Amino acid sequence: MEADEVNSEPAADSRDEWRLLAWTVLAVMVPVLITLWCSVQRSKRKMIIKDIFRRSKHGWHYTDLFNKPTYCCVCFQHIIQGAFCDCCGVCVDEQCLRRADRSLPCKEIMAPAQADGTLAHSWVRGNVPLCSYCAVCKQQCGTQPKLCDFRCVWCQTTVHDDCKSLLEDGGRCDLGEFRSLIVPPHYLHRINKLRRGYTEEHSKLAATLGSGWSPVLVLANTRSGNNMGEALLGEFRTLLNPVQVFDLSQLSPAKALQLCALLPPGRVRVLVCGGDGTVGWVLDAIDAMKLKGQEQFAPHVTILPLGTGERSVQLPGLGCGLRRGDPCGTGPEEHPGC
């Protein structure tokens, strides 16, 4: 009997040790497995979101924290994180992203005019900019804690839900205060129907937009100046036609400047946002245009230095107009935009 007790004690001890080991392994492994599972799920979600972004007509961006009170345009709920389109201003949470992408139209870069030749407002509901005022009653918009009020993605007019039907412009959009800088979607639609190359018909069409019309192309390098380029491009896509705003990290200046050939010669301006390298790259592309015999389409250049761009403003003529004999070969009088 005594011998049995002596034998069973070490056996019980080793059982306890095994149990302790098992619990320790379990206590360590469970959080590790949960973390692993979560990170796999997160990367799966990211892949799905990336895929939607890539195929979308919208200019989606993801944020972990909206910088103002924001409501989902699909489920109307208050959201803290999610996606927003920097072209049309639609905001959604992750769950509603796919639905929003399918059902909500974006700012159309090319669209026919109405029967009377004018453009209709293109309204997006909710998330109007802070401190925007109703075009009808002149009271502040977007003050209610819900998805409310409308903004036209072209002219930036804002109206209350109840005031929209009282707007006295007959639904016609005049493209707002930046109309002289915007390439209107109906202009591009007509141009697209005309044959290739700038013709007399193009000039007539441009004349309908007024003598002050001087469209600006924005070329920015999103890799310059601590992501300032990214934010700038977003602002310009909101205010202008997204087709005239180019991210040089995705498209070369030569390709971007091809748009100049569809716009009236001598009127186009280019705003280059970036560092010295970016500015030089764009000027080279303009030079190449001239060598190809497209001198008439060479745009006027204005520079907005980002990052290390301060050196470019020290170059002779740059930042305040280019001098004769510079790489661009044009004088300050030919750069009224500078």
Which stretches of the chain bind Zn ion, using CB under 5 A? 58, 72, 74-75, 85, 87-88, 93, 96, 106, 121, 134, 136-137, 152, 154-155, 160, 163, 173
With contact defined as beta carbons under 8 Å apart, do 85 and 92 qualify? no
Q: Shortest gap between Cβ of 55 and Zn ion (angstroms)? A: 13
How far is Cα 95 from Cα 93, in angstroms, rounded to an integer? 6
Q: Shortest gap between Cβ of 134 and Zn ion (angstroms)? A: 3
With contact defined as beta carbons under 8 Å apart, do 212 and 204 qualify? no
Nearer to Zn ion, 57 or 290 (CB): 57
Structure tokens at 304: 């907005």
Q: Shortest gap between Cβ of 176 and Zn ion (angstroms)? A: 7
Nearer to Zn ion, 132 or 308 (CB): 132
DSSP for 226-242? TTHHHHHHHHHHHHS-G
Using CB atoms within 10 A of its CB, is residue 100 exposed (0-12), middle (13-18) or buried (19+)?
buried
Q: Shortest gap between Cβ of 305 and Zn ion (angstroms)? A: 29
Q: Shortest gap between Cβ of 147 and Zn ion (angstroms)? A: 10
What lies within 8 Å, CB to CB, of 4 at 6+ separation is none
Q: What angle do CA 228, 222, 51 make, to 5 degrees?
A: 120
Q: Shortest gap between Cβ of 213 and Zn ion (angstroms)? A: 17
With contact defined as beta carbons under 8 Å apart, do 287 and 327 qualify? yes
Of 274, 149, 267, 177, give the one whose Cα is nearest residue 222: 274
**What is the four-CA torsion angle of 247, 96, 147, 118, rounded to 10 degrees?**
50
Q: Shortest gap between Cβ of 103 and Zn ion (angstroms)? A: 12
